[in-house]
Chains A and B, each alone.
Chain A
């Protein structure tokens, strides 16, 4: 039980009339949202210095509930929009939150390029293995052979490993956690938010409404159990990248920081003046 010292936690939300939220009972996105806010509080990130950007989907509805500058952009385009915000106002803390469909499918190209540019932003990918808002179609993270609304006879595609891709594309910091391990998740988010450069946290989350039902895992409680039993800490495996049917949680990649994009571009401005 996390104790609230005062109402600072609640102050972070737009409580006036934005609630109740649209998330289904038992959804893991609410857990992610609350944990993210607790991480903000822990690090002392002020509401007026923060801009939370998202695309379209269940996870992308999160910014609407937060009392800070929020940017609900087009499907898949959270990262380019966040790029524009960060470059225009580098002093802002820019956080992107979105689902596996929004960030890895339609937004996949933007994801790898934002990582390559090493923009100083944190990306939270809430991975529930499905397109939830549109009714349970298969996504780029849906495992092969699983059933989905658009894969009634089984999915024939192979899935992305979000963290592996983030690391390959040049992210400074990559971690994974789940909505069952909230204390661990908060820690991962804090580390990512503190890192200068492009940081990614993949949050394995439950969607009992569609994924749990389609895969026969069960309701939210059974899905949390499923998250608990499948999760394995990175310290307990030799190869974190090829663990079948396991969620390897923890810090998967944390490298020596290099100058982020905005800093390099500031140097470009300096160089351009004499020429």
Chain B
């Protein structure tokens, strides 16, 4: 069935199809349509929607629902995302899978609620204190808002880690005709749960993908934000602190073989555009127009997963590039990450736009 949908709606539909049955959030432009859609649709499928008193309450409420065994999600924008940071840290530390959608708007502070931006890319990575892993996905179209939300749910369940869906105002509010699949692949752990007396909530012999116990199942689990042992109880033993933080880091490091998502074309070209999210729409159009005018090919690399940053793969993809262009709707946040993946002789140009307007293909063509 073909539908005219906004990115925010497609994201909400993707969440429900991927098994999300709980949403706790707080209204904030430009993410509110996600909450509105889910407030209507979640009760219909036996789920729960709650509007909390603020974003701090929202993420903690979501963590509570996850701990009780329900797939949960929240959606917000810059200011709310800032408030959620400690709660995201809790999800990471207690290893509670969840989805945080951040429909980016201009900042800092209240910034520009109704304008677009990609300026939370670094916050998504380093927003919460302490060394921690994170996964962040960046859709560029309405269809991708659906697909990447489904992917986010599956990754978060598989690695027991919060996954951030970094949309932006353009992608969230843009309407496109899409045909969404009725059923999607849902990640299911294939092992049975061990008996309560042999159960460790943070067992590291299973690459994180053993089924986990939730509240109310007789396992009498203890969840804490403190550094903990494999049974979940806090400790300040240096050896176990290191084990705990290594365990978190290894979620990314040991799964890099599949933990990446890049779309690319013509990477043998001299000039390659590296982009993500709605700036990639301008990047793609710049490539098309430039090729039409000059007959010369331009490469494009579109990061659908921005964190963990795909260093190794980008090094391989940009090996023959002589010039790299990084268009972003911020003051060059991912540009340095890209710069590190090419040799010193290869110039990397940061094309920035941060006045709340969409980056245009012309602005990119000017640098090609």
Contacts and interface: CB of A to CB of B under 8 A. Distances in A.
B63 A87 contact: no
B298 to A, nearest CB: 47
Contacts of B270: none
Contacts of B58: 80
B66 interface: yes
Interface in B9-61: 22, 24, 40, 43-44, 46, 48, 50, 52-54, 56-58, 60-61
Contact of A72 (B57, B66, B225): B225
Interface in A54-68: 63-64, 67-68
B224 A72 contact: yes
Interface string B214-246: 111011111111100000011000000000000
Contacts of A47: 220
Contact of A84 (B24, B53, B54): B24
B216 A51 contact: yes
Interface residues of B, number: 43
Given A74-B60, A80-B64, A69 B215 contact: yes
Interface string A72-105: 1110010111111111110110000000000000
Contact of A80 (B43, B57, B221, B225): B57
A69 B43 contact: no
Given A48-B218, A72-B224, A77-B87, A272 B65 contact: no
A110 interface: yes
Contacts of B46: 269
Given A64-B224, A80-B52, A87-B48, A51 B60 contact: no
A83 B64 contact: yes
A144 interface: no
Nearest to B41: A272
Contacts of A81: 60-61, 63-64, 67
Contacts of A109: 53-54, 57
Nearest to A113: B53
A268 interface: yes
B342 interface: no
B61 A83 contact: yes
B72 interface: yes
Contacts of A71: 64, 67, 215, 222-223
Interface string A20-53: 0000000000000000000000000001110101
Contacts of B226: 72
A87 B22 contact: yes
Interface in B234-291: 234
Contacts of B68: 51, 84-85, 88-89, 92
A273 B42 CA distance: 10
A40 B225 CA distance: 26
Nearest to A109: B53
Contact of B63 (A51, A84, A110, A271): A84
Contacts of B56: 77, 80
Contacts of B87: 74, 77
Chain A interface main SS type: helix
A73 B222 contact: no
A139 B94 CA distance: 28
Contacts of B219: 69
Contacts of B218: 48
B70 interface: yes
Contacts of A84: 22, 24, 60-68, 72
A110 B48 CA distance: 19
Contact of B222 (A63, A80, A87, A91): A63
Contact of B216 (A83, A92, A271): A92
Nearest to B59: A80
Contacts of A241: none
A158 B260 CA distance: 55
A70 interface: yes
25 contacts: A48-B216, A53-B64, A68-B220, A69-B216, A70-B222, A71-B67, A72-B224, A72-B226, A73-B60, A77-B60, A80-B56, A80-B60, A81-B64, A84-B60, A85-B65, A85-B68, A86-B64, A88-B65, A89-B216, A109-B53, A109-B54, A113-B52, A265-B43, A265-B48, A272-B44
Given A72-B224, A83-B57, 10 more contacts: A48-B218, A51-B215, A69-B220, A71-B223, A73-B60, A84-B62, A84-B67, A85-B215, A89-B69, A269-B44
Interface of B: 22, 24, 40, 43-44, 46, 48, 50, 52-54, 56-58, 60-70, 72, 86-87, 90, 214-216, 218-226, 233-234
